[in-house]
Structure 1
Amino acid sequence: MEKQVDVAIIGAGSAGLFALGQVRKATDSYVLIDGGELGTTCARVGCMPSKAVIQVAEDFHRRTLFGRMGIEGDDALSLNAADAMEHVRDLRDVFVDKVLTNSTDNMGEEFIEGRARFISPTELQVGEDRIRARAVVIATGSRPVVPEPWRAFGDRIITTDDLFELESLPASMAVIGLGTIGLEMGQAMARMGVDVTGIDQLDHIAGLQDPEVQKVAVEIIGKEFPLWLGAGAELTEDNGSLRVSAGGQSVQVERVLAAMGRRPNVEDLDLENLGIELDERGLPPYDPATMQVGNLPVFIAGDVTGELAILHEAAIEGRIAGFNAARREPEGFARQTPLAINYCDPNIAVVGRAWNELDAERTAVGEVKLGPLGRALIMGRNKGMMRVYADREDGRLLGASLIAPRGEHIAHQLAWSIQQGLTVFDLLRMPFYHPSIEEGLQSALYDLAGKIERQPDLPVELRRA
């Protein structure tokens, strides 16, 4: 079969589906192509099942506070890991079914099942079929990285593609890579009774660059399971188990969770046929404002870019790519304020400019430690720190790093404020309810406001009617 369309989208994951939403508004001449497992990475093996595991782990961990609250009987509580993981899979299946019901299940001939490869920038081969398109969107996603030598250890090495399929949990596990998924799952497994060791060749966790927040984060998380930082891991056989060594330390474990990032799925696309130079990862250059690859009628979006493997970033990239693919002249769009949240407990978040992206001479920093915060004390979760950054001259918000209970909500508030160009004084004029976790942010903002050179002529809390 040979088919002519306006737009061909390769990949039915999050970015591809968001691109499809834009394409449908402009034309009814399109195809969506995918030869892998459907249902999006987020729903199948990413955001959603991981948060289900985290919720189970947090609920079970909460029992450790019962004694101090006068709640008796906590010794009778136990976790049935098999039932817990079945619950996670049940929720996962609901999320996946919802995605499929609202996408490929109802597409008909516009959905082509198969793996696409480029013949030219506007020609695709899918099995025996040839697709000619005026524009193409590449949204093929990514997969977990597993070092090739480790594959010899078989199913003792797992990734997030395997973790949620476990019917029982191992007695011990090494989590190698303490970015978002490694830290989240490492803490969750530890709270569910697994003897966890966390390892990362970097000297920080969760992408934190701020040295003060990093120090607090390592101290808090390190009380739940050991963190070995600053050295790469080596694996060897050890009487049917695995011996994991790093930085002069060693531990014997049943399983290893490889959480060292993800690799873009580009190997089978034959991108060399685009006629454009590829980088060492096999990826073409693209404009992040238009998502256009070079000057070609080709656009790229989502995890396959090798940049930010975050769903809301895939969504905005997919929308930009789909919008431009359906039109003759690409248009540039402003990107959203960077926002990264780790759902460990307490939440870790980096908003706006990270610490290493700031101009030290022009930046003021406000901070608060959450030990004495009333609402956090009541919750039994008074651990953490918030650091907020602003332009030293006028107080315009630039970014923040934090580890805080319910920090996901604080991070959103700060991201929205930064994107609107607000100053520290603008935020202090907002209402802060008592008692709340937000009062911790208010304290950090007061600390920050006192370090700004251009002060308002009114008390910072007041605004003229």
Structure 2
Amino acid sequence: MGQSSTNQITRKVSVAIIGAGTAGQNAFRQAQKTTENIVIINDGIWTTTCATIGCMPSKLLIAAAARAHEAKNSDEFGVHADVQIDGKQVMARVQAERNRFAGFVQDQVDSWPEDKKISGRAHINKQGLIEVNDELIAADKIIVATGSSPFIPDDWADKLGETLITSDTVFELTDLPTSMAVIGAGAIGLELAQAFNRLGVEVTLFNRANRVGGLQDESINQKAIECLSYELNMQLNSEIKEVGKQTNANDTVSAFIDYQDSAGQSQRWQGDCVIVATGRRNSIDQLGIENLGVELDDKNRPKNLNINTGQIGDLEVYIIGDANAHIPLLHVASDEGFSAGSEVCRDNVGAYIRPPAIPLSIIFCEPQIATVGMSLPEIKQSERQHVTGKVSFDNQGRSRIMGVNCGLLHIYGCKETDKILGASMVGPDAEYVAHIMAVAITNELSIKALLDTPFYHPTILEGLRSALRDVQKQMAIPFQTEKKKQDGF
């Protein structure tokens, strides 16, 4: 292809960054502070997944859905409303505000020197050189931040045709459909299914397992299913046998799904469209990354990954963000980009390698789902002596006042250290409870230290105090008794 086909190197750089999402942009900003000989290569949009097709448009849709839900379900408060939802206006606002957020990202990219940006699809050849457009680039260090794309089961794109929607395309809808199926009950599936349902779309959510939100604590999982089932039609523990589309009598096209339900009965769903939310996958195996000496496992995850910086073993190769499939969350991608951008500039006295963040996940359905720190299976596998502090939000004061009283919080406390190992929750204000737990775990605060802080009345966060008190009650006396026996008393 062009000059590259003649094996004539057209550019030599100290650092080449492939991919300009959150991780790639952070790496570029950090590295260019001390390295002028740098290039960033990107295929497609120069904004981020979060701003354009992820975090921000989904929260815009959820915000509209929350307004509709509150208005339609205010009778118990003595507030009666006739709710009319304008689907075109809903989606127009989502897109306008989405474009505004994405515009801020684009403005920053536009401020970068043009000679340091290349638009095109990169490929690493057998000599370890980067081929892009008509260039052949030699780089001392390469940062790969090519992100991820929606996973679509084999043949579904052909079988469903125009009725297939992914998380990359859903926010381009110009109006709300009448009915839809959502496949997958992870974060993306739950958020989209509930939001569209609240906006008047007839939604059916499918998931192969009897599980939502990836919850590993079965009690929390069952409570989440209970709370969400009050308004959302969920076909959990179901198996999809076939999908397709058909032309109706009025020349419209609809989708269908043949599936086996949880009782083993054959069923058919039919509706306007199918949103596939079965997760995202990286695609670094198509980049030629093996030509740099990088080995991938059977799930396309790089081996010998430094989770702080993204460096692969002792190679001058860094794989960051969703591309490494480690923890595909924005704040993790941001930290990895910052750290990789610092690491490639070893003469930068101001470089700072961010420590790996503790696991933190929040799903913005209602009630919210949050997990932080170690999961219950991980704690059990580690054989740590632990207790589980519990609180139900079904009758918690402020939650009941607000009419959001469905939820359960579990806090896993370590008996030996009086510290928090992790927490899992479904309930109101879970995003704030999770952040408090994350601060506590990161700073190794004791249960006593947390209980010594004020909890204002009446707030939903008082439920957190109840769970902490339950942890303290369960582990204080037994642990002291065990310790005295060990000490010979």
Residue 4 of structure 1 pairs with residue 27 of structure 2: no
Question: Is residue 225 of structure 1 aligned with residue 248 of structure 2?
Answer: no
Q: Which runs of 5+ in 1 are unaligned?
A: 458-465
Report the equivalent of 2:337. Answer: 318
- 3-state SS in 2 of match to 1:386: strand
Q: Deviations over 1:59-88 (max 9, x none)?
A: 11001332222223x12x210011100100
Output the amino acid matched with 1:356. Answer: P
Q: CA deviation at 1:455?
A: 8.8
Which position in structure 2 is the counterpart of 1:188? Answer: 195
- Paired residues for 1:368-447 under 5 Å: 368-447=391-470
**357, 368, 377: which one pairs with 1:347?**
368
User: Separation in 1 of the partners of 2:142 and 2:396?
Assistant: 52
Partner of 2:260: 246
Deviation at 1:148, TM superposition (A): 2.5
Q: Is 2:313 aligned against 1:294?
A: yes
Letter in 2 for 1:34: N
C-alpha offsets along residues 353-409 of structure 1, whole Å, 9 cap, x if unaligned?
A: 112111266111101001222211221111111111110233211110001112111
> Which among 302, 308, 324 is matched to residue 284 of structure 1?
302
> Aligned partners of 1:353 and 1:163: how far apart in 2?
33
Q: 1:417 to 1:235 in 2, by over 3 A?
A: same
- What secondary structure is seen at the aligned counterpart in 2 of 1:217? helix
Describe the superposition over 1:161-188 as per-residue Cα deviations: whole angstroms up to 9, x where unpaired: 1111111222111110110110000000
Give the corresponding residue for 1:155.
162
- CA offsets, 1:154-212, max 9 Å, x none? 12110011111111222111110110110000000110111111111122111111111
Q: Distance in 2 between matches of 1:5 and 1:449?
A: 57
Pick aligned residue for 1:99 from 96, 101, 105:
105
Hey, what's the Cα distance between the residues in 1 that align with 2:74 and 2:418? 43
Unaligned runs of 5+ residues in structure 2 are: 1-8, 248-253, 481-489
The Cα shift of 1:333 comes to 5.5
Partner of 2:359: 338
The counterpart of 1:258, out of the listed 266, 276, 290, is 276
Q: CA deviation at 1:105?
A: 4.6
Shift of the 271–368 alpha-carbon distance from structure 1 to 2, 3 Å rule, reads: same
* Range moving further from structure 2, 307-316 or 249-258: 249-258
Render the CA deviation track for 1:234-275: whole Å, top value 9, x for unaligned: 333464332222333432222110000011032441122123
The alignment status of 1:210 with 2:217, answered yes or no, reads yes
1:106 CA displacement: 3.5
Name the amino acid aligned to 1:289: N
Q: Does 1:34 align with 2:47?
A: no
Alignment CA distance shift 1:282-1:444 (3 Å): closer
CA 1:455 to 1:235, structure 2 compared with 1: closer, same or farther past 3 Å? Answer: same
Task: Summarize the alignment of residues 31-70 of structure 1 with structure 2, pairs less than 5 Å apart.
Answer: 31-70=39-78
User: Which letter maps to 1:184?
Assistant: E
Is 1:309 the counterpart of 2:328? The answer is: yes
Contact 1:150 1:235 in 2 (8 A): no
Contact 2:163/2:245 (8 A) holds in 1: no
State the partner residue of 2:183: 176
Q: TM-score, normalised by structure 1?
A: 0.93
TM-score normalized by the length of structure 2: 0.89
Select between 408-417 and 250-259 the one with higher mean Cα deviation: 250-259
Q: Describe the shift of the 1:214–1:126 C-alpha distance in structure 2 as closer, same or farther (beyond 3 A).
A: same
Q: Deviations over 1:130-172 (max 9, x none)?
A: 2221111000000001113111111211001111111122211
Distance 1:239 1:13 in 2: 38
Q: Aligned partners of 2:307, 2:76: CA distance in 1, in Å?
A: 52
Opposite residue 255 of structure 1, the aligned amino acid is C
CA deviation vs aligned residue, 1:20-41 (integer Å, no higher than 9, x gap): 1220233222111102122111
1:28 to 1:122, Cα distance in 2 relative to 1, 3 A:
farther
Counterpart-to-counterpart distance in 2, 1:134 and 1:271:
15
User: Aligned partners of 2:456 and 2:300: how far apart in 1?
Assistant: 51
- In 1, Cα distance between equivalents of 2:48 and 2:338: 16
- Tell me how far apart the structure 2 counterparts of residues 267 and 44 of structure 1 sit (CA, whole Å): 25
Report if the CA contact (8 A) 2:243-2:256 is conserved: yes
> SS in structure 2 opposite 1:103?
helix
The corresponding residue for 1:460 is none
Do the aligned partners of residues 28 and 216 (structure 1) sit closer, same or farther apart at CA in structure 2, a change above 3 Å counting?
same
Deviation at 1:278, TM superposition (A): 2.7
- In 2, distance between residues paired with 1:105 and 1:163? 30
Q: Is the 8 A contact 1:9 1:137 kept in 2?
A: yes
- How far has the Cα of 1:122 moved from its partner? 5.4
| Matched AA of 1:406 | D
1:416 deviates by 0.9
Q: Identity across aligned pairs (percent)?
A: 36
CA distance in 1, matches of 2:353, 2:51: 30
The residue type equivalent to 1:146 in the other structure is I
CA distance in 2, matches of 1:202, 1:30: 46
Larger deviation, residues 233-242 vs 134-143: 233-242
CA distance in 2 between partners of 1:61 and 1:348 (Å): 18
Letter in 1 for 2:98: R
Which is further off, 320-329 or 202-211?
320-329
